[in-house]
Structure 1
Amino acid sequence: MTKASQLPRLVLYHAEASPPSCAVRMLGHILDLDFHYKQPKLLLLEHKTPQFKKINPMGTIPVLQDGDFIVSESHAIMQYLCGLGGERGARLYPREERARAILHQCMYFDAAVMFNTVKSVALPTLLHGMKGATEKHLQSIEECYSVTEAYLRQPYMVGDHLTLADLSLSTTVAATNIIHELNSNRFPRTADWMNRMSQEDFYKKITKPGMDLLKKMLYKRWERNVF
């Protein structure tokens, strides 16, 4: 047996407190995928080193390595993994054109808008000592909650069952909730959806502890910055 054949097939570079990493890991749990985990030390900027950028030129996590194939960006990773997941993968990433278009709409909103609201607070806090979210940050989060509420016309983002859109957006909503709590009176469908997601075993196992850690990290910095 060659040395190369002994390497783990699916290597996932991730961080426990990263919402996109949690989304990928939840999918792996659902599909019974066997990940070999590697955790770059983000606060030491290991993901920005020349060595890591040979793996992912963007210098971000998560990153999936499947043999000699590497893909970054959580949504692209999840779409790829669904192709490995048989019927379960096909249900999570539906093939019907309109369903897939709605799914992509939700995931592009997550990647381009909602997760950026989290990064705009979390990264300056953890890396540069920002003292807390500004009023502009809170307004942006409220706008994101409004979009999420509008998208939830059915029990889940794309219909009556779980898809990749729910896995991705639920982790981001959980992170925004740390910064600015979701008002269940203003956004009842989102609150109900998040409550149902939080009862899932994969959420309890992965996203709950991940977001607890993110909350601890942010609050520790905010407390330090206050005094």
Structure 2
Amino acid sequence: MSSSCRPMMSASILTAFAGGLPSILYSCGAIVNTEKLNMAPVLYKIEPSPPANAVRILADIIGLELELKDVDMANLEHKSPDYLKLNPAGVVPTLVDDGFAVGDSHAIMIYLVSKYGGNKSEFLYPSDLRTRAIINQVMLYNASILFSRNSRVGMAMIFEGLKGPSERHISDVEEAYGMLERFLSKYRYVAANHLTIADISLATSLYVSVLIKEIDPEIPPDYCLV
């Protein structure tokens, strides 16, 4: 992997990760796949959804064309009997591929990179059991901690009239940042020394997290990765 595909490490690894990843995703020519399918998998999504956007970013990276369908959540389409047959949890995103339906962005990303990643799958989701275990660990951290804490704020603002994040919300996100810093202290990327699907899943969550609590680049962590 060329050095141009590595994130620039500044005073805060987390700041570099959050700020540099989007350009990294599209600048690494080594992981571009332009192959197209005759029948594109269908992704049910809403535009603001970080998990759905993570799936879309992965699809772009591996050159996979998706058919996108917006879910009318305002009219509870995601709770309709037809949608619940596809995704019993009644959330977005949901992927339907040749009659097979799967929900949760992390499960969808693992499925897509495994089936359609081609020679990029070993790079994005390595077969080495220990590396894969760390990738899975980070994605579960994203699902159960970082994204979950973001969602608490969003749901309270939408359904409870909350005007902004409370001190507890901010503290929870700061704690999640600390966990992520510790993940990043071990590798150049969050789960390995190269880009994986764990980075993609975290990137979209972080763009919501920084709206709750900005990342201060002037506060360095206790270590420096070079």
Q: Tell me if TM exceeds 0.5.
A: yes
Deviation track 1:158-216 (CA, whole Å, cap 9, x = no partner) reads 22211011000111111110121112233669xx9xxxxxxxxxxxxxxxxxxxxxxxx
User: AA paired with 2:204?
Assistant: T
C-alpha deviation, 1:90, in angstroms: 2.0
C-alpha deviation, 1:85, in angstroms: 1.1
Is it true that 1:89 corresponds to 2:121 in the alignment?
A: yes
Q: Which moved more, 1:125-134 or 1:101-110?
A: 125-134
Aligned to 1:142: 174
C-alpha deviation, 1:29, in angstroms: 0.2
Whole-angstrom CA distance in 2 between matches of 1:95 and 1:140: 33
User: AA paired with 1:16?
Assistant: E
C-alpha deviation, 1:96, in angstroms: 0.7
Q: Name the SS of the counterpart of 2:138 in structure 1.
A: helix
Is it true that 1:16 corresponds to 2:31 in the alignment?
A: no
Q: 1:109 aligned to 141, 150, 154, which one? A: 141
User: AA paired with 2:53?
Assistant: C
C-alpha deviation, 1:137, in angstroms: 0.6
Residue pairs, 1:106-185, within 5 angstroms: 106-153=138-185, 154-185=187-218
C-alpha deviation, 1:132, in angstroms: 1.6
Whole-angstrom CA distance in 2 between matches of 1:131 and 1:9: 40
Deviation track 1:90-133 (CA, whole Å, cap 9, x = no partner) reads 21001111111111110010011111101101122123322221
Whole-angstrom CA distance in 1 between matches of 2:52 and 2:113: 16
Is it true that 1:25 corresponds to 2:56 in the alignment?
A: yes
Residues 187 and 69 from structure 1, CA distance in 2 versus in 1: closer, same or farther, beyond 3 angstroms?
farther
User: AA paired with 1:178?
Assistant: L
Deviation track 1:48-82 (CA, whole Å, cap 9, x = no partner) reads 22232121110000100001100100000000001
Q: Name the SS of the counterpart of 2:86 in structure 1.
A: coil
Is it true that 1:59 corresponds to 2:122 in the alignment?
A: no
Q: Name the SS of the counterpart of 2:88 in structure 1.
A: coil
Calculate percent identity across the aligned residue pairs.
39
Whole-angstrom CA distance in 2 between matches of 1:36 and 1:86: 20
Q: Which moved more, 1:84-93 or 1:133-142?
A: 84-93
User: AA paired with 1:50?
Assistant: P
Q: 1:38 aligned to 63, 66, 69, which one? A: 69
Residue pairs, 1:183-202, within 5 angstroms: 183-186=216-219
Whole-angstrom CA distance in 1 between matches of 2:90 and 2:162: 22
Whole-angstrom CA distance in 1 between matches of 2:126 and 2:90: 30
Whole-angstrom CA distance in 2 between matches of 1:103 and 1:10: 24
Residues 183 and 96 from structure 1, CA distance in 2 versus in 1: closer, same or farther, beyond 3 angstroms?
same
In structure 1, list runs of 5 or more residues that go unmatched: 1-6, 193-227
In structure 2, list runs of 5 or more residues that go unmatched: 1-37
Q: What is the TM-score when the length of structure 1 is the normalising length?
A: 0.76
C-alpha deviation, 1:16, in angstroms: 1.4
